[in-house]
Amino acid sequence: MNSNDNLGSTELRGSSFSRWQRFEFNRSLEMIGLASIGGALVFYDFIVFVFLAPVIGKLFFPPSGADYLATIQSLGVFAAGYFFRPLGGVVLAHFGDLFGRKRIFAFSIILMSISTLCIAILPTYNSIGMWAPLLLIVSRIFQGIAIGAEIPGGWTFVAEHLPYKNLGLGCGLVCAGFTFGILLASLVTAGITFGFSSLEIEDFAWRIPFLIGAVLGSPAILLRRRLKETPIFLSFIKDRPLEPQLPLKTVLENHTRSIIISMLLTWIVSAGIVVTTLMTSTLLETSYGYFAQHALTATSLGVVFVIIGLVANGVIIDRVGPGYSLMSGSIFLALATFAFYSWAGSSISSLYILYPIMGAAVGVLAAAPYIMVVAFPPHVRVTGISFSYNLSYAFFGGLTPVTLAWLVECDAMAPAYYLLFISALAFTLGKYLCRYRQAMKSHPDTLGTFFVWDR
């Protein structure tokens, strides 16, 4: 065989390998799409509550003299969902590490759909008295259990379907999918406020967004059945027996540093999502004096730019690493959020200009799932992420709305000061994590060893 034959054979093999790589990447993108669609619907069901907090506060609690007290009460119920996230996260994550990532998805979306339907049909305080807020809290608890498994499971599932060089993009895309659920909740609520009067909303229309979420659960469940188990889970489950002890025990004993870093990152995530998107819509009405239509429209626009920012930051992370991405992104976040809360109340045009800028800055949060996924080895990955994320989110995500709603009554700039602190924390973490960039690059085929898995 001459050299030309060898060259042709090499080119053929290279071409076949290239086609195989494209096929694998396209299949990975399909898995990302399926996971993100279901995640968006789960996130919609959980988040739509906060956009209707002022109305729910009036309908499900005893009448009070001040509207802000009703809002604080309803945000307290919203927080109940956060406090029970660790229960669902840790229990379901245990099965995710032992029996597969995809199995926890089906249960989480079923539980979320049922809980959302229960909220949609609940009688109000005028009908059943104190049973109304109690049943509302129970429904939110089950929603919290469902979403406690959804987000860590989604991050792990997507990351384990992608090559390491595309991990940042994958994390950005799946976070964008979750955030689309916030956008959908904002758009649906905005449509309700535009399409119905205040009396109609309080009478029946507030139930419509919850009914939509419950109905969309059925096709989402069918889509989840098309998911394929991750190659990394299938690989390690063949090569080694099941974890001899509880995954959570292994995480607590061997991965302390990963837990601490993941919990701090979750604090940053909770601030970025809860304050800039979920709470700000209500604050624009109660503190800045905007009508609900303008507040929800601006929030929807801001969330669109959060989605863009998440994907863009995912690409940046793949190029420069999560540490440098956190450092530069935290500076942008500090400037954008302080400008927004300082001048968004000056005019509607300022609101519509500053909110998208703040939304794009929130895209820095794409670094969080990237770091958490590579911080834990495959056999305890879902448990490690879920325990760290949900425990931290239960505390910070649950207390932040109620605390800031109270502090805003004293100083309207309270959200800005809080986010300045969060930006400083993100910058500090980014600087600390830069030292591990080479360790991460040295294992490009295994998702990992961000902290060389601690021990």
Query: Where is average pLDDT lowest: 73-77, 238-242, 438-442?
Result: 438-442
Count Cβ atoms below 10 Å from residue 252 Cβ, excluding itself.
15
Work out the average pLDDT over 438-445.
48
Domain boundaries 32-219+245-441, CATH class: mainly alpha
Burial 34-60 (b: 16+ CB within 10 A, else e): bbbbbbbbbbbbbbbbbbbbbbbbbbb
Closest CA to 168 of 324, 306, 310, 304: 310
Would you state the pLDDT for residue 442?
Answer: 46
Q: How many CA atoms lie within 13 A of 14 on its CB side?
A: 6
Pairwise CA distance, residues 315 & 328, whole Å: 14
DSSP character string of 235-251: HHHHHSPSPSS-HHHHH
Instruction: Categorize the per-residue pLDDT at 451 as very low, low, confident or very high, splitting at 50, 70 and 90.
Output: low
Work out the average pLDDT over 183-210.
89
Pairwise CA distance, residues 25 & 27, whole Å: 5
Q: How many CA atoms lie within 13 A of 421 on its CB side?
A: 9
User: What pLDDT digit, counting tens, does each position of 318-367 carry?
Assistant: 999 899 999 999 999 999 999 999 999 889 999 999 999 999 999 999 99
Write the CA distances from 260 to 37, 144, 186, 220, integer angstroms. Answer: 30, 22, 33, 34
Domain boundaries, the chain: 32-219+245-441
Work out the average pLDDT over 207-232.
81
User: What pLDDT digit, counting tens, does each position of 373-421 carry?
Assistant: 989 988 888 889 989 998 898 888 778 877 887 888 888 899 999 999 9
Helix, strand, coil share (%) of the chain residues, nearest 5: 85, 0, 15
Closest CA to 146 of 99, 113, 179: 113
Write the CA distances from 175 to 32, 182, 371, integer angstroms. Answer: 10, 11, 13
Query: Where is average pLDDT lowest: 49-63, 271-285, 437-451?
Result: 437-451
